[in-house]
Amino acid sequence: MLSLAQWLADYYLQPLGEVVFQCLPGYLRGARSHVSTRVKCWLLATSDVALIDNLRQRSPRQFEICEAMRARQSGLTALDLKKINPNWHAVVKALENKKILRWDWMEAKAGLPRVTGLPQLSPEQDQILGQIEPRLDSFAVHLLDGITGSGKTEVYLRLIQSRLDAGMQVIYLVPEIGLTNQLIERIERRFGSCFAISHSGLTDLQRYRAWDRFRRAEVGIMLGTRSSLFSQCDNLGLIIIDEEHDHSYRQEDGIRYHARDVAIKRAQMLDIPIVLGSATPSLESIKNCARDTYFRYRLDQRPTQFPPPRLELIDVRNSRFEFGCSQRSFERIEQHLAAAGQVLIYLNRRGYAPIVMCHECGWQALCRHCDARLTLHQSVPRLLCHHCGFSQAVPAGCPECGHDEVKHYGIGTEQLEQGLQQRYPQTPILRIDRDVIASREALKSRLQQLQSGEPCILIGTQMIAKGHDYPAITLSIVLDADQALFSASYRASERLVQTLFQVAGRSGRGDRAGEAILQTRFPEHPLMQALLRHSYREIAADLLRERRQFGFPPYARVVMFRADAIKLEDALQKLEQIRARLTSAQDFDALSCVGPMPALMTRRIGRYRAQLCLISEDYRVLRSVLAQAMPALEDLPSSARVGWSIDVDAYEL
């Protein structure tokens, strides 16, 4: 782990001390003593049956506890003893004095239940396992490129079983806690209690205990989100990165790193395999497969008889809307509900409405601390900033012109939920977004209706776009995705295509065919037409050709210097100082240098942000320039007035 921390610090140009802290659970980063997660248990200290039988008449309470001990050879904890006798302390102490009982720390490793009736593997799954299993004893990157619902998880579980049977441990990463509910149930059915869970929805102490159990090999599987990558153990045998394309694996604050790439490095250092899986692999991974750096396996068939649905475009120009849905969308919803199907509606916008403004003078509700509009949340009711958390009351009138009415525009999941409840009062409406889901348990309760298979409508944001498997969903609808067609981000097209294929893949996973529709005002847009005619792999190949033509990642490497200050001029001045030190390095002219310039969202949380970007197709030249300039850059002071940071392999330009 120290070697991995040193590599991460060197590669991402981050302070080693902070990286080491990143490798430890948050509970251990403060001034806290080690808290053992072991449990005290009591066991029989004698095999003398006559000695115990003599207690039957003389000490019935002592005999009762001894009988319970004989029934459970692994011992009884304090909780177990309390169930037998609420006043167990004195009884157990007497048995200890007689040398009949002894106590010890419970270090029992969770046993591996032998599950019978495993799912029948498809020919593709069986072939892939036959190719990967001979390579499990050495480092290799395996990309499992399988369409939605093709059975990637079953391949993961078979590989995990193979590693556990060999006495090794496994780290299994998912991008968000929203993906863990069904997965936890599935792993628990397969492996019993032989796993630990770690994600941001748990307390520091809960995550520390999961880390400690995995470190002591009490459990064989660590299931969690990004930070679980740094779970320590002596016998790691496999790392799995599910939904490897997801940008949640990229940490954008504090220590900046990409968990997928660090996981690959850890696997290389330990000479163990790593499995990446996705229905929509990242362009970086696809490019590495083309270079024969990764092994690539394809799953093109679902276990059911129905393939994933093709996206159908609904042209909504000149259409009448009700809370974001066109009349054609309502017709499809009603058809599927009448056929006892479930409907999923994807809208990646929380709140009730994204714009609040005065129709008379044009005033808009803007955040005081960010270059962003405030979003109306009617349930609070407040205007909220989704970037800094600032909130204010909804004004009764326009604060600028005094007009007695302000209006809201646009649609969010909260408004969509209310509208659907009014239109379909007899149909359960389930909303899943960060405003209503505060924990894994809250998400689980919301999804129970889906598990029942009864007709309902599920609406939500990114939390429902991937990973979930509910066979009763027969229709997927995507609302208001057009904004991504004109985004300033060069990754917008890739993200849009990945999201659309993931959402479409939620339907038709059971015994009925599914449908997927996309509302758009730009049906003739080349990307929309590509979605109609081509698979994700074909579109990804086109996107890669565009990236190569324009010199964007993954055909170039990017290092971003960021500065923030109370005044924009101070941030730009800091980046000018950085640029001056970079220009003194040999081969600087071989790089493309963009900036200093204001960031796309210039003001955030009350501070102005600027950036300086280095781009090069030759990574060795880029690293050489940075190596020469870093001693001078490290001498630059950082203060509360002006701060700066380095982002290696920056995700955005």
The per-residue pLDDT for 343 is: 92
Above pLDDT 70, what percent of the chain? Answer: 94
Q: What is the rounded distance in angstroms from the CA atom of residue 343 to the CA atom of residue 46?
A: 63
Q: Indicate the range of 273-282, 443-452, 552-561 predicted with least confidence.
A: 443-452
Matching CATH number, 311-349+411-549, of 1.10.10.60, 3.40.50.300, 1.10.10.10, 3.30.420.40: 3.40.50.300
103 confidence band (pLDDT: 50, 70, 90) = confident
Shortest CA distance to 333 belongs to which of 472, 457, 501?
457
- CATH number for 557-648 (one of 3.30.310.50, 3.40.1280.10, 3.30.70.600, 3.40.50.720): it is 3.30.70.600
State pLDDT tens for residues 189-237: 888 888 888 887 788 888 888 898 899 888 899 999 898 999 999 999 9
Q: Where are the alpha helices (DSSP H) in 301-367?
A: 327-338
Contact at 8 Å (CB) between 23 and 47? no
> Does 557-648 match 311-349+411-549 at the fold level?
no
Residue 108 has what pLDDT?
45
Q: Using DSSP, state whether 559 is helix, strand or coil.
A: strand
Residue 449 has pLDDT above 90, yes or no: no
Q: Residue 356 pairs with which residues in a beta bridge?
A: 408
Q: How far, in Å, CA of 245 to CA of 259, rounded?
A: 11
User: What's the rounded Cα separation, in Å, for the pair 15 and 36?
Assistant: 30
Specify whether the CB–CB gap between 151 and 225 falls below 8 A. no
Do 612 and 575 touch, CB atoms closer than 8 A? yes
Question: Which of 162, 163, 152 has the alpha carbon at shortest distance from 128?
Answer: 152
Give the pLDDT band of residue 291 (cuts 50, 70, 90). confident
pLDDT at 181 over 80: no
Q: How confident is the model at residue 336 (pLDDT cuts 50, 70, 90)?
A: very high
pLDDT value of residue 475:
92
Pick from 20-29, 182-191, 346-355, 534-543: least confident: 182-191
Average of per-residue pLDDT across 161-174? 92
Kindly state the DSSP code that residue 364 receives in the 8-state scheme: B
Rg, the chain, Cα only = 29
| pLDDT band at residue 603 using 50, 70 and 90 as cut-offs | very high
Which one is predicted more confidently, 79 or 627? 627
Using the CB atoms, write b or e for 110-143: b if 16+ within 10 Å: beeeeeeeeeebbebbeebbeebeeebeeebbbb
CB contact at 8 A, 298 and 146:
yes
Is the pLDDT reported for residue 546 higher than 80? yes
Class of domain 113-299 as given by CATH:
alpha beta
User: What tokens appear for 502 in the block?
Assistant: 């993931």
The per-residue pLDDT for range 242-267, each reduced to its tens digit, is 999 999 899 988 889 999 999 999 99
What letter does residue 99 receive in the DSSP assignment?
A: T
> In the predicted model, is pLDDT for residue 434 greater than 60?
yes
What is the pLDDT averaged over residues 639-651?
86
Residue 595 backbone phi and psi in degrees, to 5: 110, -175
Q: Which two tokens stand for residue 371?
A: 């270059």
**pLDDT attached to residue 115:** 60
pLDDT band at 142 (very low <50, low <70, confident <90, very high): very high
The pLDDT value recorded for residue 607 is 92
- Which range has the worst mean pLDDT, 62-71, 444-453, 556-565, 599-608? 444-453
Looking at the chain, the whole-number percentage of residues with pLDDT higher than 90 is: 39
Is the pLDDT at 443 greater than 80? The verdict is no
Mean pLDDT for all residues in the chain: 87
88 phi and psi angles, rounded to 5 deg? -75, -20
Lowest mean pLDDT among 276-290, 484-498, 535-549, 550-564: 484-498
Contact 329, 323 (CB under 8 A): no
Confidence of residue 561 (pLDDT cuts 50, 70, 90): very high
- Mean pLDDT, residues 83-100 taken together: 88
Q: Per residue in 320-329, pLDDT tens? A: 888 889 899 9
pLDDT at 463: 77
Q: How confident is the model at residue 648 (pLDDT cuts 50, 70, 90)?
A: very high
Among 178-182, 310-314, 337-341, 580-584, the least confident range: 178-182
Tokens of 413: 């999941």
The C-alpha angle 490, 493, 499, rounded to 5 degrees, equals: 130
What's residue 441's pLDDT?
62
What average pLDDT does range 539-554 have in this prediction?
91
**Mean pLDDT, to the nearest integer, of 295-311?**
84
**pLDDT confidence band for 301 (50 / 70 / 90):** confident
Q: How confident is the model at residue 558 (pLDDT cuts 50, 70, 90)?
A: very high
pLDDT above 80 for 582: yes
What residue spans define the domains of the chain? 39-106, 113-299, 311-349+411-549, 557-648
Task: Please report the pLDDT score of residue 613 as a whole number.
Answer: 94
List, in order, residues 6 or more apart from 299 with CB less than 8 Å away.
Answer: 122, 124, 125, 128, 144, 145, 146, 147, 150, 151, 152, 155
pLDDT in tens, 500-532: 998 888 888 878 888 999 999 998 999 999 988
Q: pTM to 2 decimals?
A: 0.84
Place 52 in a pLDDT band, splitting at 50, 70 and 90.
confident
Higher pLDDT, 107 or 45: 45
Extract the tokens encoding 422: 């009014």
Specify the pLDDT at position 107: 54
Q: Alpha-carbon distance 333 to 324, whole Å? A: 14
Q: What is the pLDDT of residue 3?
A: 95
